[in-house]
Amino acid sequence: MRDSAPVEFDVRAGGGARDYGVVVGRGLLDRVGAYAAAAAPGVVRWIVIADDTVAGLYASRVAASCSPDGVDVLTFPAGESHKNRAQWADLTDRLLAAGAGRDAGIVALGGGVTGDLAGFVAATYLRGVPVVQVPTSIVAMVDSAVGGKTGVDTPAGKNLVGAFHPPAVVLVDPEAVGTLPRRQRAEGLAEAVKHGAIVDADYAREVGRQASALLAGDVSAVERMVVGSIRVKSQVVSRDEREGGLREILNFGHTLGHALEAASEYEVTHGEAVAVGMVLEARLGERVGCTRPGTAAELKALLEAVELPTAPPPGLDLSRARAFLSSDKKVRKGRPRFVLLSELGAVDDTGGRWARPVDDRVVSDVLESA
C-alpha cells in the first residue's frame, strides 16, 4: 500500500543544533524535494551526492523531485574503501568548482558509506551546509543515517576523522530495499539485531522470526523493522547526541567489529563484522561475569537466522585485528573499551559505565577461540 501514511519521529539534536525529523514511508524517493525544502527553507540549490551504483538507480528521481530541471549529481566509486579523505577532498573541490555557495545543500543518497562521506562534506564545506539523508540500504536506514555522525576512514581505522552534523531531515523509503542484493539485506539486519540486543529482546527475536521475509525484501516486513529500529535509535540519540554517555550502547559489537573489518581491508562488510563483534563481545561479557550465560549462543542463533557470520573468516590475521583495537574511538588511557550486555535486551551499566576495558588476555582468548 504505497499510499499508507508515513511514520515520523522527532530527534533532539542537542549541542545547539536544531532538532530534526525522520520520516519512513513508501514513495519518499519521489518526494525528497518537498521535504528538503520544508526542512531547510534557506537552501536554493540542492546537490545530490551518491555512489555510482545508487546514482544509476535513483539519482534522476531524487533530482527531479528537487527541481523540475534537475540538480547537480556528484558521484564517486562505490565501496567502503572509497570512504576516505581523498574522496572527501575530491567532492569538496567539485563543489567549489561548481560555485556552490552557503545557500546550497547536500542530499546524501545511498548507503552508510555515502551518508558518512556526504555528511562529512556537508559538515565541512564552507564551515557547514545543510544535509538531507536519504538512505537506500538497510544498514543506513536503521542506523547510520540517524544520529548526525559523519566521517571517513583512515589507514589507522574506521571513522577516525569526522564531525557531528545533524541532518535537516532523514527520509527513508523502504521500497529501495528491493534493489539490494540478498547479502546487503542481511548485512543491514545486524544493526537491527543490535538494537534489540541493547534495548528490547522481544524486538531482536522478532527480527529473527521475520528473517525469511526480511531477506526476501518484503516491503511490509522491512518497513516494520525499520520503524522498530529507528524508534530505538532516535530515543537513544535524543538523550545523548554526542556520545557522552548513553549513546555508547549503540557501539555494542562495534569495537571488535570495526577491528575485524579494518583487518580484512573491508573484505568483511560492516554488518558482517558487527555481527561477529556482537557474538564475541557477548562472550567477553560472559567471561568477565556480567553477561547472563547463554546470551552469546542466543545472539549467534538470531544472527545465523538472518544469514550473517558469527565468527571471523578463516585466514583473517587476528593479530592485525588486535592492533586496530588501539585506534578505536572508544580508547581511553590507551585501552579499548567494550559495551557489554547483562542479558539480551539490556546493557550492563555497573558503576554507571556504558563501556569498559577488558583484560587484554581475555580479549585475545575470545578472539582465538572464535
Query: Could you confirm whether 83 is annotated as catalytic?
Result: no
Helix (H) or strand (E) holding 342: strand 341-343
Report the range out of 66-80, 86-100, 225-239, 308-322 with the highest average pLDDT. Answer: 86-100
Helix/strand/coil (H, E, C) string of 6-57? CEEEEECCCCCCCCEEEEECCCHHHCHHHHHHHHCCCCCEEEEEEEHHHHHH
Cell of 59: 539519482
Contact 252, 194 (CB under 8 A): yes
Q: What is the DSSP string of 135-147?
A: E-SHHIIIIITSS
Give the CA distances from residue 94 to residues 20, 74, 103, 125, 352, in Å, rounded to whole numbers and listed in that order.
28, 8, 16, 11, 46
Q: Fold for 7-179, please state it.
A: Rossmann fold (3.40.50)
Find where cell 567471561 sits.
287
Question: Which of 195, 270, 330, 356 does the annotation list as catalytic?
Answer: 270
Question: Which of 191, 261, 298, 343 does the annotation list as catalytic?
Answer: 191
Say yes or no to pLDDT of 241 above 80: no
Query: Could you confirm whether 158 is annotated as catalytic?
Result: no
Query: Could you confirm whether 185 is annotated as catalytic?
Result: no
Question: Which of 83, 233, 287, 337 does the annotation list as catalytic?
Answer: 233
Average pLDDT over residues 219-229: 95
Per-residue pLDDT tens over the stretch 37-46: 999 999 999 9
Query: Could you confirm whether 261 is annotated as catalytic?
Result: no
Per-residue pLDDT tens over the stretch 21-35: 999 999 999 999 999
Say yes or no to pLDDT of 326 above 80: no
Nearest to 48 by CA among 91, 103, 2, 106: 106
Say yes or no to pLDDT of 1 above 50: no
**Residues carrying CATH 3.40.50.1970, the chain:** 7-179
Burial call 246-260: b when 16+ CB within 10 Å, e when fewer? bbbbbbbbbbbbbbb
Q: Which CATH architecture is the domain 182-239+246-369 placed in? A: Up-down Bundle (1.20)
Say yes or no to pLDDT of 36 above 90: yes
Per-residue pLDDT tens over the stretch 264-315: 988 999 999 999 999 999 999 999 999 999 999 999 999 999 999 999 999 8
Query: Could you confirm whether 254 is annotated as catalytic?
Result: yes
CA distance 266 to 49: 22
Mean pLDDT, the chain, rounded, equals 92
Contact 133, 23 (CB under 8 A): no
CA distance 73 to 51: 10
Say yes or no to pLDDT of 16 above 80: no
172/335: higher pLDDT: 172
Average pLDDT over residues 71-76: 96
22 beta partners: 9, 170
Question: Which of 247, 283, 287, 330 does the annotation list as catalytic?
Answer: 247
Percent of the chain whose predicted confidence (pLDDT) is above 90: 75
20 beta partners: 11
CA distance 200 to 214: 19
Query: Could you confirm whether 251 is annotated as catalytic?
Result: yes
The whole model's pTM is what?
0.87
**pLDDT value, residue 352:** 72
**Residues carrying CATH 1.20.1090.10, the chain:** 182-239+246-369
**pLDDT value, residue 211:** 97
**pLDDT value, residue 144:** 86
